[in-house]
């Protein structure tokens, strides 16, 4: 039984509706001091041999690249008229390695479209994010891409930007019904839940269906909370003998991650897998494992991974990681900005992701150039496809 309120993602992609996020916030308020909450999944019985085989095949599929990226098909008008303009890219925090890759992607896309990119670090707090958005508004930006931050973290500033006619893209967050899409606002949803579910499936196979998993859950926004909820909710479906426990962390309180991790482990000494919701939390969480005296017992995993994390997997330092196609997402983010400027409908984008295991991590070229090209996730021809859509090829 899972003891926390959770909502399954629509089509396995995103949670739509602030009601679910509000319910989760109530749960957070009722958690213990370190945010540790048990989320037991199912009974103690192991999955059948056939189910285990099927799950192993799913994990193998999740470890493979795509045959093609899901690039939109409708052309964008008037892109050449925007030459010389500036798009502001505002990640919630530049601590996250994924955002550095997205930054490279959006810079490459903007260059192809004749635009410039101004990067502003949100610093993981409302003041930082609001300041960045205000800077973009004052500079009469062509558009703003806010990455990983919920709307309410800078609601007044985002409202003011749109009132000034500047389109805003909210990337890597769930859809909030209180802030619906409009002619100046759109979402680019992430593969947040899918990555954590993929890691959980790998753990189920690796542990023969008997894992004790500890998830750290970011409280930076409703999306981050929802991704972990989706993973713990799905866990009984493929690993009824697994147990999950959740504890809370945040970008704004990085120094508290080691002690909160240690505390969660000491309260749950049977934990043998620790999943960091985002790769930025890996190292402080690892410090917490060491503080708890559980180094060597607990296998470490992470979502939203980047090059250095995949290198650690290939060398045996991490059990497995999941990553989404962050460079591709940079091109998608700019595509969304261009469509809003052109007063065109923004399509429902899908951001691919991939599971990197000790086996699959050895099959990719582990260089910054390969990471930025997007080749880990599929053919790199997506850049030419976007250029053609924008009539800048």
**pLDDT at residue 14, as a whole number:** 33
Instruction: Note whether 126 and 151 are same-domain residues.
Output: yes
Confidence of residue 48 (pLDDT cuts 50, 70, 90): low
pLDDT digits (tens, 9 = 90+) for 149-190: 999 999 999 999 999 999 999 999 889 999 999 999 999 998
Q: How many domains does the chain have?
A: 2
39 within domain boundaries: yes
6 within domain boundaries: no
**pLDDT at residue 379, as a whole number:** 97
43 within domain boundaries: yes
Instruction: Note whether 118 and 35 are same-domain residues.
Output: no
Confidence of residue 10 (pLDDT cuts 50, 70, 90): very low
pTM for this prediction: 0.85
Q: Which domain holds residue 112?
A: 79-189+325-349+381-389
Instruction: Note whether 295 and 331 are same-domain residues.
Output: no
Per the prediction, the chain carries an average pLDDT of 89
CATH of the domain at 254: 3.40.50.2300
Between residues 336 and 38, the one the model is more confident about: 336
Checking if the pLDDT of 92 tops 70, the result is: yes
Checking if the pLDDT of 28 tops 90, the result is: no
Instruction: Note whether 121 and 177 are same-domain residues.
Output: yes
| pLDDT, mean of residues 9-25 | 35
362 within domain boundaries: no
**pLDDT at residue 52, as a whole number:** 81
Instruction: Note whether 119 and 96 are same-domain residues.
Output: yes
Instruction: Note whether 40 and 98 are same-domain residues.
Output: no
Q: What is the DSSP string of 125-190?
A: SHHHHHHHHHHHHHTT-SEEEEES--GGGGHHHHHHHHHTT--EEEESS-B-TTS--BTTEEEE--
99 within domain boundaries: yes
Checking if the pLDDT of 7 tops 60, the result is: no
Checking if the pLDDT of 316 tops 80, the result is: yes
317 within domain boundaries: no
Checking if the pLDDT of 43 tops 80, the result is: no
**pLDDT at residue 116, as a whole number:** 98
d(CA 313, CA 50): 28
* Residue from 12, 39, 44, 11 nearest 24 by CA: 39
357 within domain boundaries: no
336 within domain boundaries: yes
DSSP state of 86: E
**pLDDT at residue 37, as a whole number:** 55
| pLDDT, mean of residues 91-109 | 94
d(CA 306, CA 291): 26
Instruction: Note whether 42 and 119 are same-domain residues.
Output: no
Instruction: Note whether 198 and 261 are same-domain residues.
Output: yes
Q: Are 87 and 143 in contact (CB under 8 A)?
A: yes
**pLDDT at residue 252, as a whole number:** 85
**pLDDT at residue 45, as a whole number:** 46
Residue 10, φ and ψ in degrees, nearest 5? -60, 120
**pLDDT at residue 95, as a whole number:** 87
Instruction: Note whether 105 and 126 are same-domain residues.
Output: yes
SS3 354: strand
pLDDT digits (tens, 9 = 90+) for 223-274: 899 999 999 999 999 999 999 999 999 988 999 999 999 999 999 999 999 9
Instruction: Note whether 196 and 217 are same-domain residues.
Output: yes
- Of the listed ranges 11-20, 41-50, 238-247, 369-378, the least confidently predicted one is 11-20
Instruction: Note whether 197 and 289 are same-domain residues.
Output: yes
Checking if the pLDDT of 3 tops 70, the result is: no
Instruction: Note whether 271 and 197 are same-domain residues.
Output: yes
Confidence of residue 345 (pLDDT cuts 50, 70, 90): very high
């Amino acid at each position: 039984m899972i003891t926390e309120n959770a909502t399954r993602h629509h089509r396995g992609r995103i949670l739509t509706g602030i009601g679910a996020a509000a319910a989760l916030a109530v749960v957070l308020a009722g958690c213990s001091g370190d945010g540790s909450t048990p989320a037991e999944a199912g009974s103690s019985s192991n999955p059948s041999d056939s189910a285990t085989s099927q799950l192993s095949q799913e994990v193998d599929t999740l470890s493979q690249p795509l045959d093609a990226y899901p690039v939109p098909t409708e052309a964008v008008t008037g892109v050449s008229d925007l030459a010389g303009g500036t798009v502001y890219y505002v990640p919630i925090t530049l601590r996250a390695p994924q955002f550095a890759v997205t930054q490279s992607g959006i810079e490459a896309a903007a260059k192809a479209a004749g635009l410039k990119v101004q990067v502003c670090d949100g610093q993981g707090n409302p003041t930082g994010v609001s300041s960045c958005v205000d800077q973009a508004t004052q500079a009469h930006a062509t558009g703003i891409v806010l990455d990983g931050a919920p709307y309410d973290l800078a609601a007044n500033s985002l409202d003011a930007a749109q009132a000034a006619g500047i389109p805003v893209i909210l990337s890597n967050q769930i859809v909030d019904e209180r802030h619906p899409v409009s002619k100046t606002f759109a979402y680019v949803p992430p593969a947040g839940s899918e990555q954590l579910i993929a890691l959980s499936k790998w753990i189920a196979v690796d542990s023969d269906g008997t894992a004790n998993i500890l998830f750290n859950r970011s409280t930076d926004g409703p999306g981050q909370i929802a991704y972990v909820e989706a993973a713990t909710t799905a866990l009984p479906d493929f690993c009824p003998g697994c147990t999950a426990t959740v504890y809370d962390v945040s970008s704004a309180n990085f120094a508290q991650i080691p002690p909160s991790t240690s505390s969660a482990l000491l309260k749950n000494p049977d934990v043998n897998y620790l999943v960091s919701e985002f790769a930025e939390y890996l190292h402080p969480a690892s410090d917490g494992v060491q503080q708890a005296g559980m180094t060597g017992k607990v296998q470490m995993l992470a979502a939203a991974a980047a090059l250095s994390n995949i290198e650690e997997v290939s060398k045996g330092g991490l059990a497995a990681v999941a990553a989404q196609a962050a460079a591709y997402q940079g091109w998608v983010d700019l595509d969304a900005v261009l469509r809003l400027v052109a007063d065109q409908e923004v399509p429902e984008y899908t951001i691919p992701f991939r599971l990197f295991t000790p086996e699959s991590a050895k099959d990719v070229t582990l260089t910054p150039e390969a990471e930025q090209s997007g080749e880990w996730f599929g053919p790199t021809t997506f850049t030419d496809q976007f250029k053609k859509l924008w009539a800048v090829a």
